[in-house]
Structure 1
Amino acid sequence: MTPVPETDAWTYDDFTSGELDPARWIVMATKGADGQRHPYQDRNARVRTGDGQLELTVDPFTRFHDSDPRQNNAKQMYQSVRRFPVPAAGQLAFEVDMTVRTRGQIPYDLLDAFGTVNLFDLDTGVVLNVAATNDSVYAIVERLVIPGVTRPGDHYIHRVVLDVATEPGREHHYALTYRAETQEAQWYVDGRLMYWARLPVPVAAFSAGMALFSARDLTRYTRAERERGQGATGSWGPWRISTSVR
C-alpha cells in the first residue's frame, strides 16, 4: 500500500493588519561593492496593507546605480524573517496571489519593470522566482555569486517566458515547490504546472520574498535608458506554506 503523505499547511501572512508585520517581513539589504550595507528600498515606495494583501507602489523608480547591480536592480524588496526548512523526504511549497501593473515599461522587455515572488537560499546562492510585467509571466532560476559560498563559474540565470495570458493588474495564483530527494523545483500558475528545473546543489531551507525590480544590464544601457521615469505597483497575499512528508 502506498503511504499517505503527511501534510502540514499554514498561512504565513494574510495581511489583515494595518501595518506590515516586522515579525514576518523585513526590507532586504546587501553589502555593496563599496562595503556598505544597502537596503533594497526606494524613497518613492508607498505601502498599503490590511485588506488581505500587501500593495507596494514605486512610481517612478529612483533607486539606480551605474556599476553595482545590488544597488540598482531591486527597487523595493521584502524578505521573510523566517527561513523554511525543506523536509528531508518530502516537498516544501509556497503559494501566493500576485498582481503587477507597470507604468512606462518597454513592452515585452522582461527587465525594464517587473514584480516578483521570490524563494532564495543565501547558503547556496539558489534563487527561484516567478516574475510578471504588464504583458509577460516568466520563471527565473539563478545561482548567485556570493563570496565564500559560490564562485563566479557557479553563476547562471535562466529566464523562461511561460504560456500564461496576462494584462496589467491581472491577478494570478502562483505556487513554487521544491523536493529534496530529486532537487527539483516546480512553478505553477493558476493551478497549472508551467516549468520545472533540477537545481545543481541541494537546498536545506528557503526564505520567501516579494519585490519590484528594474534590472536592465548596466553594461549595455546608459542611465538615461534605464531611468526613464518608469514605475510599478505590485500586490501579494496571502502567503501560504505547506510541507508534505512521505
Structure 2
Amino acid sequence: MTSVPETGTWTYDGFTSSALDPDRWTIMTMAGSDGSVHPYRDRNARVRTGDGRFELTIAPFTRFHDTDPRRNNAKQMYRSVRPFPVPPGGELAFDVVMGVRTYGQIPHDLLDAFGTVNLFDPDTGVVLNAAATNDTVYAVVERLVLPGVTRPEDHYIHRIVLDVPTEPGQEHRYRITYRAETRTVQWYVDGRLVYWAGLPVPVAGFHAGMALFSARDLTRYTRAEREHGQGATGSWRPWYVSTAVR
C-alpha cells in the first residue's frame, strides 16, 4: 500500500483540471462469473469539472438489473486509484463537501435516488458512506460478502438517519475518521459529530469513492417500482486526507 505522510492534511484532488484526473480516479468495475467486466457506469451520465468541484448528473437513471444488485445499485461510481493506509495506532480522515439534488425521488425513501461519499476496504469488505437525498442525510456502515474475504454470516448493513436538515442541492461538509487503536469510525457533518460506530475487524486502509445510486431491494420491488424515471445530480468539492499518530 502506497505510503502517505504520517501526520498532516493534504489535498487528494482539487478538481482544477478540465477532466477528471485518471491518475486519481477510475470507474468502479466488477467481474462477472464468466470473466466479463461490468463497469459501474450509466449511459445517461454527464460530468463537469475544472472549477474546483466535480459534478455528475444522471437523469434519468438507466443502469438497472433484476437479479444482481452489483449491476443495479450503483448507477455511476468512481473510486480512488490508490488506497490510503491507516497509520499504525493512528487516525485516518477524509473531508469533502458534497451536494445532492434528486429528480423524481420518492420522498424520504433512502434508496430510491441518492449520492454518496464512500470509503471502502476490499481486504475486509468494510464500507463506510455518508449519503444524501433531497430530504435526508444518513450514514451507512456495511460489511460486504466478498469471495475469499468474508462469509455470508459476516454481512451486515446499518443505515442511520442523521439529525441534519437538508434541501435539494444543499452542500454539506462531510468528514469520516477511522481510529486504528479502537477500530472506531466517526461521522461529522458541517463540523459536528453526528454518529460513531465500532468495526468488527481492523482495517489497514481505505479507498475513497463518490457515486450516485438507486438501490431499492430487487426482491421486494418490481422493475417498474425501481425504474420510474428518477435521477440525481451530485457535486463534490476538493477531497482532503488527514493522518495523525496518536
TM-score w.r.t. structure 2 length? Answer: 0.97
How do residues 1-246 of structure 1 correspond to structure 2 at under 5 angstroms?
7-32=7-32, 35-246=35-246
Separation in 2, partners of 1:183, 1:30: 28
Residues 203-234 of structure 1 show CA distances to partners (whole Å, capped at 9, x for unaligned) of 00100000000000000000000000100000
**TM-superposition CA deviations, 1:14-70 (whole Å, max 9, x none):** 000000000000000012355421100000000000000000000100000000000
Superposed CA deviations along residues 137-182 of structure 1, whole A, max 9, x for unmatched, are: 0000000000000000000000000000000000000000000000
Q: Distance in 1 between matches of 2:47 and 2:14?
A: 15
Which residue identity does 2:169 align to in structure 1?
A: G
Tell me how far apart the structure 2 counterparts of residues 164 and 142 of structure 1 sit (CA, whole Å). 21
Which segments of 5 or more consecutive residues in structure 1 lack a partner in the other structure? Answer: 1-5
Letter in 2 for 1:164: V
Deviation at 1:90, TM superposition (A): 1.0
One-letter amino acid of the structure 2 residue matched with residue 58 of structure 1: I
How far does residue 94 in structure 1 lie from its aligned partner after superposition?
0.1
Separation in 2, partners of 1:224, 1:55: 28
Letter in 2 for 1:180: A
Q: Deviations along 1:111-152, whole A, 9 cap, x unmatched?
A: 000000000000000000000000000000000000000000
> Partner of 1:3 in structure 2?
none
Check the 8 A contact 1:99/1:171 in 2, yes or no: yes
Q: CA RMSD in A?
A: 0.9
Q: How many residue pairs are counted as aligned between the two chains?
A: 241
Task: Using structure 1 for the length normalisation, give the TM-score.
Answer: 0.97
Aligned-pair identity (%): 77
Deviation track 1:74-108 (CA, whole Å, cap 9, x = no partner) reads 00000000100001121000000000000000000
Q: What SS does the corresponding residue of 1:116 show, helix, strand or coil?
A: strand
- What 5-or-longer segments of structure 2 have no aligned partner? 1-5
Could you say if the C-alpha distance between residues 33 and 164 of structure 1 is closer, same or farther in structure 2, counting changes exceeding 3 Å? farther
1:8 CA displacement:
1.3
Q: Which residue of 1 aligns with 2:3?
A: none
